[in-house]
Each structure stands twice: as C-alpha cells, then as structure tokens.
Amino acid sequence: MKPDTKRLLWMLPGLFAAGLAGPAVAADGPFVINTLQAPATMDPAFLCDITDNGYVAPLYAPLVAYGRTTIEGTPEGVTVTKENPNEIVPALAESWSVSDDALVYTFTIRDGLKFASGNAIDGAAVAASLERALKSGSCGTHFMEAADYGNTKSITAEGNTVTVTLDHPQPLLIHALTQPNVSIVDVATVEANGGNDWLATHSAGSGPYLLDSYQPGVKAVFKANPNYYGEPALEPEVVLNFIADPSTLLLQARNDAAQVTLGLPKQMLAEVADSMNIVAVPAPRWELVGLPNRVPPFDNATFRSALSYAVPYDVLVKSVAFGYGESFFGPFPPQLPSYNAELGGPRAFDLDKAKALMAESGVEGPVDLTITIREGRDDHEQIATILQQVWGQLGVDVKISKVSGSAYAEQVSAPEKTTAIMRSDGPSVTFSPWLLNYDMRCASNFNMSNYCNTEAEALFDESNKVADLAARQPYFDKITEIWVADAPRIPLYADVYTAVLDKSVKFWDFAQDGPFEIWRWGR
C-alpha cells in the first residue's frame, strides 16, 4: 500500500507550527469549541447545511423540542445524551393542540417571555417569525412547510395564541417545528437593524445564548442569555473557533486549547485517543456525490450506474472514514428503519462491470465532470481525488472545484444542479418521509441530483396515505428498487459522527441537525 501522502501533508504544518496552538484553557475560563467548518450565515432561515444549522441552534428557541435519551457505551465519566424524535416536549409553547381534521395547529405561548433584546415574545412576535421563515425562499420555507410546499394557508395570532392552518394534513409539521431554521427570531430587532443582511452576522434570539461577537470564518462568542425562559446553559460563555486547517485543529486538541474539537478528520483521531475522550454516534448522516441528472450524459441511468460501480467503497470507509463509516447503496442509510439491506445494501467495487455498463450506455468519452466541494473539507477533497483517478479509467475527466461556504450554499439550494456536488447530508427530521420529501421529489431545490422519477414519487404519495410508518415498508422497498436501478447519486458511506472531548467535559449532547445543542455541554 502506498503511504497516505494526504495525511502526511496534513501533519507537516503541525510539526513547525507549535506557536499556533494557543494557551491551554483554564477550567474556569470560557468553554472552547474548535471546529473545522464555519457557517455560511448566522441567519437561521437561510442555513441549509446539517452542520451549519447547529451554529444557530443555541441562539434561538423553538416552539417545541425533542426530548432526550442517554447513549450507552460512552467514555467513562461522560454523560452523553441525544435527541429522541419520538418524544416532543414544550419549548416556547407551553402547550399545543391539533384539530380533528389535522389542519389546524394551535400553540399557546408561555406568559412573560422576552427576547435577548428585551422585546416581548408573544403571539404576534412568534407569528411574525414563522411568517419570515415561510417567506424566506430558503430552508426556512422548507421547514415551515415541512417540505410540503404550498401547504401553509395562514399563520395568525391573538394574544399568546398562534394558529397555523394547513391545506391538507402534514404530520411531520410538528417535527419540523423543533428545528433551528424555524426557531423564533426577534423580527422587530432584525428590521430595526436593516434586515436580513444584518442578521447574517448578528443574532436576534430567544435561545439559551446570545451572540456576543462574531468574526465570519474566524470566531464566535456566545454568552448566556439572561432572558432565556428555560434552565440556564451549563457554561456561561462559549468560544467557537473556526479552524480550516486540520493539522492546526489537531495541534490545538493535543495542546488542550479546546474542551471540544469537531470535524477532526477520522484518520487523526488515533493521534488524540490516549489523552482525550472520543465520542462516536452512529446517525442517519452520510457522505454523497450528487450527480447532475438533467445534464447529459448524466441523464443516462446506465451511465450513472457505471460510475457507481467504479467507486472503491471499502477503501473510502477504511482510508477516509477510518472505520467510522458503513457502506450502503440506496435512498435510505442503515440507521433509518426503512433501510432494507437486501435491496439497498453495499455496492461492490467492480471496474469491469463499470466498463461494461459504460459501453452499454452508449456514452463515449471523454466526459467532463466538475465535482464541487466546500472549502475546509479535506476529506471530501481526498474522496474527490480518488474518484478523479478511478473515473478517469472510464473516460470521465474530473475537475475538483473548491468554493467558499456561501458559494457552496448557493449551489446546494440552486434549482438546477450543473455540477456534481459532494455533501455531508442527512434528514434533520429523522423520518424516511422527510428524507424523501426533499431528496427525491422532482421539484425540490434540495434534491442534490435533480433526480426525477414519477413512478417513485407516485409511490411515495401513496405511502403518505398510510398512517402507520411501519406499514409503509412495501412502498419504501419498491422505491428503493427503482432508486437503485436509477443510481441518481452515489452514497459514499453512512457516517459515524465523532467528537473529541478533553477530560474535563462531563456532559455532551448529540442532535442530528448540528450537533450544536451546546447549552447541554459542560464541565
């Protein structure tokens, strides 16, 4: 086996950059989190990345929230919890009800609540925030509609009561309302400061923290919000450092410069395993390559299948995920109940079959393909480089385009996908219907491949008429069969989320969207 030159390149800067590590953090100082990925914006309605969403979660409170459950088998002395999507609990709304026809949701807001600004959190303020999300045209719209576009007829308020009226039943709405993208924003403060451009770098929140200072791409400081309605955050001050260089991230972890390190490449975890605690959480999140299905020759399913057999999946799990991953090939990852291993299990690397399918497709090379990746994602660059080498044997000339977080967010949410997009993805609401709503519907902007199969979408619509999720499995199996035959995108592997904690950290919590419910983190 050849030496892992990519890893060596990551490590070399650390050998000469001890001065970058910074001082060790005192036990009574701020709680420091070092993370590889910086957010594209701090405006919750316009965040569309499963990691970015977590940066705003501490700043805004939702109407309702998920309960928590304890994870077993974690490092000794550390209590690790995670969200329980089967339990919805009150947050800003002390209670709610749903009409018998499931078209009207009525929320009663707690009395006496205030935003960080001091403005009242009453029915009118909550309705204004939900309307802002609905009209954002971005992920705020997606969540407020529960990915069921055009279904929200009205949002009204009277006193401390907020009413959301739907055109037709959508049982996932209550789950969508747990998410940071539709958490409650102080719209009056946003408008008084110039609107959306201001909120991109500030906060106008209702959550356990307020944004004390922010340097885009560099640093954010959170301080406890004295007006927060709930239990105070475990740590009164949190410093988030955005560090795009993995070797520097590793060096700072080694030098105890942070309580929590996120985004450390999997191959570097062994470097800190003896001195730090590593928390690993299997979750319905995965790495993927979305193929532009509307752009010839990627509109050819046989050609796409050829590419899917020319992916060394085992190599990616071993050399990029370093065992913190699991192969599959289908619309559902192994961590979702709808996954059927017989239909959507791992796909073998078979270059001969890929070449045969290439010939069968009628596509003649050379074929140009750009793979777009986000700056700072060295693991994605490593994967793209591997694909560049292997797909070159099929006559596909791969170019790798690294773009900024904001440019990447624009490409991800663009209606037309003109390049392949490498992405960490997963449903914020961990139910299969939520995933299919955004990932498979022909009209969804967040369908990473512009995949459109009317038969599969019709089956999905039929499945939504079945109340019991378990009873929908025959529909999901048929959808899986169609999806596998179409190969609209390439799931590289299901990810095991990892975080590095120093020994002082006693409490840590995982949320699918983030995992930045950091008010639950502490020493």
- The CATH 3.40.190.10 portion of the chain extends over 5-276+502-520
Q: What is the pLDDT of residue 303?
A: 98
392 DSSP assignment = G
The CATH class that applies to domain 5-276+502-520 reads alpha beta
Six token digits for residue 89 = 């609990």
What are the start-end ranges of the H helices in 399-443? Answer: 405-413, 432-439
Q: What is the pLDDT of residue 27?
A: 56
DSSP string, 322-336: TTSEE---SSS-TTS
- Decide: residue 41, CB within 10 A, 0-12 exposed, 13-18 middle, 19+ buried: buried
Q: What is the pLDDT of residue 363?
A: 97
Residues in the chain: 523
What are the start-end ranges of the H helices in 201-300? Answer: 246-254
Number of H helices, E strands in the chain: 17, 18
3-class DSSP state of 452: coil
Helix axes 5-15, 246-254, angle to 10 degrees: 50
167 vs 150: CA distance, rounded Å: 8
Q: What is the pLDDT of residue 22?
A: 43
Q: What is the pLDDT of residue 16?
A: 32
Q: Cα angle at 259 between 257 and 263, to 5 degrees?
A: 90
What are the strands, taking DSSP E only, across 25-77? 31-35, 64-70
Going residue by residue through the chain, which has 523 residues, state the pLDDT in tens, using 9 for 90 and above: 333 333 333 333 333 333 344 444 445 799 999 999 899 899 999 998 888 888 899 999 999 999 999 999 999 999 999 999 999 999 999 999 999 999 999 999 999 999 999 999 999 999 999 999 999 999 999 999 998 889 999 999 999 999 999 999 999 999 999 999 999 999 999 999 999 999 999 999 999 999 999 999 999 999 999 999 999 999 999 999 999 999 999 999 999 999 999 999 998 999 999 999 999 998 899 999 999 999 999 999 999 999 999 999 999 999 999 999 999 999 999 999 999 999 999 999 999 999 999 999 999 989 999 999 998 888 999 999 999 999 999 999 999 999 998 899 889 888 999 999 999 999 989 999 999 998 999 988 889 899 999 999 999 999 988 888 889 999 999 999 999 999 999 999 999 999 999 999 999 999 987 656 899 999 9
279 vs 269: CA distance, rounded Å: 11
Q: What is the pLDDT of residue 516?
A: 67
Q: What is the pLDDT of residue 211?
A: 98
Please answer whether residues 492 and 316 qualify as being in contact, where contact means their C-beta atoms are separated by less than 8 angstroms.
yes
Q: What is the pLDDT of residue 51?
A: 84
- The CATH 3.10.105.10 portion of the chain extends over 284-496
- With residues binned 3-state (H G I as helix, E B as strand, rest as coil), the percentages for the chain, rounded to 5, are 30, 25, 45
Six token digits for residue 203 = 């906060």
Q: Residue 36 CB: number of other CB atoms within 10 A? A: 21
Any idea which residue has 């619509």 for tokens? 461
Domain 284-496, CATH number (from 3.50.50.60, 3.40.30.10, 3.30.1180.10, 3.10.105.10): 3.10.105.10
